[in-house]
Amino acid sequence: MKNIKHIALSLLAIGFLACENETLDDLRDRINQGEEELPELISGEADFSNYISVGASFTAGYTDAGVFIAGQEDSFPNTLSKQFANIGGGEFVQPLVNDNTGGILIGNNASGYRLVFGGAGPVPLNLFLASQGAPIPPITTTTASIGSDFNNFGIPGAKSFHVVTPGYGAFNPYYTRIASGANSTVIGDAVNQNPTFFTLSEMGGNDVLGYATSGGTGVDQTGNLNAASYGGNDITDPQVFAGALSASLDALTANGAKGLVTNVPFITDLPHFTTVPFNPIPLDAATAGAVNQAYAQYNGGLQAAAANNIISSEELAQRTINFEASENNAVVIEDETLTTVILPTGPGTFITLPSIRQATATDLFVLPASSFIGTEAVPGNPSTVNGVAIPLADQWVLIPSEQEAIRNATIAYNSTIASIADSNPNVGLVDLNAVLAQASTTGIQFDDYTLNTDLVFGGLVSLDGIHLTGRGYALMANKFLEAADANFGSNFVASGNVAKAGDFPTNYSPTLQ
C-alpha cells in the first residue's frame, strides 16, 4: 500500500494514526500536553530488518568539508537505523575512518582537514590548531580495503553513473576502502548485502555540483551519451542519468526490497553560492576615479562598437564599467556570453575588447571567492586588485546562463526520478528539493529551532556551504521517516520514533580526537 507517492519535505509531513493525519507539531503538542499515550510502532508493509543506504556525500555523513567519525555517526542513514532498530532493524555498520581530522589519504589521493569555526569564519582544522599552538594530528591513512560488509555505501564525489560503473574504486578513495574487487560496482556491493529496505539519496547532485563549484568551467554534456568522455566538472546528460538511476533501482528492488529515493535540490540555493555578494568593493572617490580612468579606453571601445551596431545599446549599458565612491561597488568579471568585439586601430591592425562586465545580483560567486576578491595579483601592487583591475575569471562566478544549465539538468533529473518512483510500487519519493527551497527562503522548523541556509549560523548547512550539519542530517532523516509512513504504512512519526533536533550539533569542536 502506498498511501501517498510523493511527500514534500516540509513540516506539513503526514503521519498516520488510525484515520487521522498528524504532523510533527501535532505530535509534539500531544506529548507536551499528555493527552494520550503514543501508539505502538508498526512497520506497515516494509521490512526494516536489513537496511542499506546508497548515495554520495550526504549518505556518508560528509560535513564541514570532510569525512570524520563524529560526522559519520550523525549521518542520516545512521540516524534512520536507530529508529529502524525499534521495529526489528539489525545492526547498521558504517565504514568509519580512523579519527576526526576529516582528511583521508590513499596513495596520492588525499583530501585535507575538516573546517572549524575560527571566530570570523570557517578555517581548516590544521590552521586553527596551529594558531592555538596545539599539535596537529596527521590525516587518516587507510589501507586499500577494509572489507565490503557494510550497510552504508555513501561515496563522496560519486555521480549517478559512477555507482554502476565497474572499477570505480580505482578513481575514488572513499570507494577504494570498501570495494569488494577491482571491477566491482557500488550498487553491486550494496545489493550483495541483501537489503530488505534501502535509501538511494543524492543521485544527480554530483552530476551538477562539480560544474557549479568550478564556476561553470566544465561542459554541459546534455546530448552526449558517452559518460566515459566526460570531464570531472561536466554536467551529466539526463538520459545517462536516467539509465543509471533505473539500473540502480532495478538492482535494489530485484529481490522485493522496498526503499526511498530522493530528488535533487537546486544546489545554487546553498550558501556556497549565495554567501559572497556581487558588490563587496569599497572605494573612495580618488580610487574610484583612478579605476575609471583605467577602464576609459575599454568603455570608449564599447561606445564605438555600439555606434557601429556591433553591440546593442542594452549590451553597451551592461558592459560599461563604472566605479563610485561607495562601500558596495560590483566586481568586474569575465563573461564568455558577451559579444566578441573587434575594432580597427589603424590600417590592417585590430584590437579585441575583453569580454568583461561588472557583476549584478543575478550572478553567483563560489564561496572561495570570498578570500580572493580584493587580493593583489602582484603582491604590493595596488593596481592589480582582483575583481577591480583584474577581472574575475570564470572559475569564481556562475553567470545566469551557467545557472540555467544547472537548473535545466536538475529539472530533467527530478522528472525522471518522479516518473520512476511513480511506476515502481516498492519505491517512494522524498522531496529534498522542497526542503532546501523552504530553508533558503522562510527557514524550516525543526523542534524548537528554525533552520535556514545562512553560512555558519543557519543551522542546516555545514561550514563548507554545501553539506549539512549533524542537525541538518537529523532533519533529513525525519523526512525519510515521514516518507516511509506515507508510502508503506509505518507510523514512525505518530509513534514518536523520530530524531530530536537537540540531540544533534550544528558545529563540531576542533578538540574532537
Nearest to 272 by CA among 206, 213, 214: 213
Q: Between 411 and 137, whose confidence is greater?
A: 411
Does CATH number 3.40.50.1110 belong to domain 6-94+152-165+193-274+401-503? yes
- pLDDT surpassing 80 at residue 142: no
Nearest to 429 by CA among 270, 200, 248, 240: 200
Q: For residue 290, give every residue at least 6 positions away whose Cβ sits within 8 Å of its Cβ, in sequence order, or none.
A: none
Over the stretch 352-379, which tens digit does the pLDDT of each residue have?
A: 999 999 999 999 999 999 999 999 999 9
**Structure letter (DSSP) for residue 393:** P
Binning pLDDT at 50, 70 and 90, where does residue 35 land?
Answer: low
Can you give the pLDDT at residue 145? Answer: 85
Rounded to two decimals, the pTM is 0.91
| Partner residues linked to 92 by β-bridges | none
Longest CA span, the chain:
91
Over the stretch 412-441, which tens digit does the pLDDT of each residue have?
A: 999 999 999 999 999 999 999 999 999 999
Give the three-state DSSP class for 133. Answer: coil
Q: What is the secondary structure of 337-382 as a DSSP string?
A: TSPPEEEEEETTEEEEEP-EEE--TT-EE-GGGGGTTT-BSSTT-G
Can you give the pLDDT at residue 138? Answer: 83
Domain residue ranges in the chain:
6-94+152-165+193-274+401-503, 281-358+364-398
Binning pLDDT at 50, 70 and 90, where does residue 218 land?
Answer: very high
Can you give the pLDDT at residue 36? Answer: 66
Q: What is the mean pLDDT of residues 269-276?
A: 98
Other C-beta atoms lying within 10 Å of the C-beta of residue 131: 11
Cα–Cα distance for residue pair 83/88, rounded to 1 Å? 9
Other C-beta atoms lying within 10 Å of the C-beta of residue 224: 16
Over the stretch 111-140, which tens digit does the pLDDT of each residue have?
A: 789 999 999 899 999 999 999 999 988 887
CA separation, residue 245 to residues 164, 168, 185, 414 (Å): 9, 16, 14, 11
